[in-house]
């Protein structure tokens, strides 16, 4: 088994191990913090990643911006939705 660490450009650090699989595998691994593909493989030596350190600085762009969440709730008739003031 081969072990090492990999760092994503967002700052997340992963412990990476590599072991022989019974057959060739085609797959990839994406960073759980930012979604960037860290590795693609097509081999019998298959890596496994485990997050050991999250990015020090949060991701700047959330998948859904808070104002979009509020708009969505208002459009669906949710009375508890927070509607941004656009005056």
Cα 2 from Cα 16, distance rounded (Å): 8
Q: Within a domain: residue 82?
A: no
pLDDT 10s per residue in the chain (87 long)?
677 999 999 999 999 999 999 999 999 999 999 999 999 999 999 999 999 999 887 555 544 444 544 444 444 444 444 545 555
Q: Within a domain: residue 83?
A: no
Contacts of 57 (CB under 8 A, 6+ apart): 11
Q: Within a domain: residue 86?
A: no
What is the pTM assigned to this prediction?
A: 0.60
Cα 9 from Cα 55, distance rounded (Å): 9
Res 86: pLDDT = 52
Token couple for 43:
């081999």
β-bridge mates for residue 49, sequence order? 16
What's the number of domains the chain is made of? 1
């Amino acid at each position: 088994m081969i072990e090492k660490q990999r760092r994503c450009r967002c700052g997340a650090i992963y412990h990476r191990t590599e072991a022989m699989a019974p057959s060739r595998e085609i797959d990839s691994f994406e960073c759980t913090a930012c979604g960037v593909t860290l590795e693609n493989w097509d081999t019998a030596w298959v890596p496994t990643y485990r997050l050991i350190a999250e990015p020090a600085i949060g991701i700047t762009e959330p998948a859904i911006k808070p104002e979009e969440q509020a708009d969505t709730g208002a459009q669906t008739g949710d009375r508890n939705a927070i509607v941004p003031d656009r005056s």
